[in-house]
Structure 1
């Protein structure tokens, strides 16, 4: 890394299209940061079981994974803003029903499974569209500050969101935090109305239609070494993250240091992310994936702490470090994708990225509950933390990953 030309956040916010998109994401993230905690403890209120929580989490992840490739094609065919708006409105409906069921005390696990499954289905189109939209809103030299500002907003909101959600859980119940998430989806759709993007010329419909477009995306994916190597690694890493930290973590927290401590730890992760975004507004990543893979190793820390010393203070410190490392990876990965993948293929490439990265998440969500019951939650968490480190460092060792430069920089001898 080397120092950049200075803060550029105010410059990119002068861009009207980006400014409205930024506001839409800001409102949506305000609800989502509370919803992750609220849904977890809503499930645990209905059934105090890691297996039940894993089922609800997997119910959202499985359809998300199944429909990602179709979502990527839709996002490359249709106006991406329209795809995101439609997804936001449908997500508003699903989360509003969840909130009603939880607040009214009528929620059952099967209902939450169905509703979160619908939510995952509609998200399958919006996520690739979101990844492909940013290069249409800002020029290439503003991609880093635009990405950093989006991450900064996420970090600022997640500083307070999980703690507020935890406070709601122990006072008025988790349903109200889910209701706030539902309202944020609706507001986010409205705020996208002023966003207009240039029309993308596509010519005549190619023979083979959607299948041909899927093959084009697959050809790009398998021929880009750094892309498929990192995605393959994250198939494993995300399974451990979703299973160990996000499924076993709340259960260990509830049985040891309590719900407020878990909310505080989630907020600490956001503090680490937020502080790092401030640095990254001024520091240019010369080798985005090199920095990213070293940064993401920090996510092993909270798994190890939960297994070895499940207490609030060490977990808060571990999550602070994990947040910083996650932000470095997120920026590095976004820059690698946005600068090296052609814009007309970006949503499809992103859908293959998300498919490979997310495909094992429901396996982790469903497997870790029974595995923890069998071997002990804390033992499984320690083993997962060690394996997480090994996978990260093995990925870093691949030359195509380690020395991929920024677009326009002088590359080292590598084929990617």
Structure 2
């Protein structure tokens, strides 16, 4: 009788990783940290690049809108493409587009005075790249993690991203002051190149090939059916389409004005935003240990405190109290974020991850430009304090409404039975659902 061959011993790197942090997960996390460091600094650099050419605040807004509009328009197509093609290839292609667009932006800034239309065009290309990258990256992360430790894996991933965002913004601001915005944009282009190289090493050999569908529109319809058939899913996405919008208006428009008039200027407001970022890191640490049984119920209860920053600005609170409120809010939103990702991972078929993620992204972003553009007229019509109180009331009312959905209250964490002899959780093959090729079964 021939005995089966013994599995190869794990590498030294694999022995140092936790059992749930497999090779693919580690590559995804490392590449996400690299791009987050570069991108958060580049957002600051792009604004200062516009101002350096004599542009106005309105021109800065036009460049920002030039990135946001293509991002919103192409999200659903990006999600469908990511579920048709190998997701890591979509991610690498999107990184290449972002690398080229940011590199061209850097060259224009370093060699002369770029025109506004050129900066808008390059920002728009960056938005297109993000529209294809986002759903593919979330689908890849969700399909890379499995087992009982999924929540912990998502918490560590989000903690790494949030930490990189804080560090990237601080480093980017310092570099803009020291060497100018052009070099910060060049560093961001290099970061996209490095991240794309890392993502090219992702191992997808265990994922079955997709069955060719009748076309892109058919894929979009299938994604919509998956999305619309789950009240908890579309209910929470609708909730956050408004919540994200009013929070963006409060932070981007009202926050700086309150800071200038009542808190002593930009520095206290910057500390408040940094406090929020530090809170998200602490929230991720909490979610590495806490595994709430009722995933969505626990997460949605943590959405109520998102009204507190608007209340703090409406009063307004002194700077130290506002910083404390923002820190606590960061903890609560991270509890929701990890619970949300865990619920998606548990409930959505693997072959539809990216399409569902695209609808989630679309709902989260679509109302933000509207809210930020209406913040000024709302202040004129109702007053700043009243507008902020209205934002807080909307968050509370919408969150209470979502809690009326039975699945939000009752959806429970399911603990999969361990399968002897399988790979670590983050490297275990995640099989496609029954309508894809291969055996049926079931986060940059």
The TM-score range, normalised by the shorter chain, is: 0.7 to 0.9
* Alignment correspondent of 1:29: 36
Output the CA distance in 2 between the equivalents of 1:103 and 1:316: 37
**Within 5 A, what are the aligned runs for 1:12-411?**
12-13=20-21, 15-39=22-46, 47=55, 49=57, 51-101=58-108, 106=113, 109-169=116-176, 172-197=179-204, 198-203=206-211, 205-207=212-214, 209-250=215-256, 253=259, 257-309=264-316, 312-372=319-379, 376-377=383-384, 379-408=386-415
In the TM superposition, what is the alpha-carbon distance from 1:372 to its structure 2 partner?
Answer: 4.0
* Alignment correspondent of 1:3: none
Unaligned runs of 5+ in 1: 1-7, 410-416
Alpha carbons of structure 1 residues 358 and 279: separation in structure 2 relative to 1, 3 Å: same
In the TM superposition, what is the alpha-carbon distance from 1:249 to its structure 2 partner?
Answer: 3.3
Q: Secondary structure at the match of 1:284?
A: coil
CA contact (8 A) 2:151 2:339 kept: no
In the TM superposition, what is the alpha-carbon distance from 1:385 to its structure 2 partner?
Answer: 2.8
Output the CA distance in 1 between the equivalents of 2:126 and 2:386: 33
Output the CA distance in 2 between the equivalents of 1:402 and 1:105: 57
CA contact (8 A) 2:142 2:353 kept: no
Would you identify which runs of 4 or more consecutive aligned residues in structure 1 move more than 6 Å? Answer: none
Output the CA distance in 1 between the equivalents of 2:386 and 2:109: 33
CA contact (8 A) 1:166 1:259 kept: no
In the TM superposition, what is the alpha-carbon distance from 1:378 to its structure 2 partner?
Answer: 5.0
Output the CA distance in 1 between the equivalents of 2:200 and 2:93: 11
Q: Which range moved further: 336-345 or 234-243? A: 234-243
TM-score by length of 1: 0.85
Alpha carbons of structure 1 residues 177 and 308: separation in structure 2 relative to 1, 3 Å: farther
CA contact (8 A) 2:239 2:398 kept: yes
Output the CA distance in 1 between the equivalents of 2:380 and 2:186: 33
Map Cα deviations across residues 196-220 of structure 1 (whole Å, 9 max, x no partner). 11343323x333x111111111111
Which structure would you say has the larger Rg? 2
In the TM superposition, what is the alpha-carbon distance from 1:317 to its structure 2 partner?
Answer: 1.8
In the TM superposition, what is the alpha-carbon distance from 1:101 to its structure 2 partner?
Answer: 4.9
TM-score by length of 2: 0.80
Alpha carbons of structure 1 residues 96 and 267: separation in structure 2 relative to 1, 3 Å: farther
In the TM superposition, what is the alpha-carbon distance from 1:59 to its structure 2 partner?
Answer: 2.6
Unaligned runs of 5+ in 2: 1-15, 417-444
Output the CA distance in 2 between the equivalents of 1:276 and 1:284: 13
Alpha carbons of structure 1 residues 102 and 298: separation in structure 2 relative to 1, 3 Å: farther
Output the CA distance in 1 between the equivalents of 2:47 and 2:241: 22
Q: Which range moved further: 400-409 or 270-279? A: 400-409
Q: Secondary structure at the match of 1:11?
A: coil
Q: Secondary structure at the match of 1:81?
A: helix
Alpha carbons of structure 1 residues 385 and 201: separation in structure 2 relative to 1, 3 Å: same
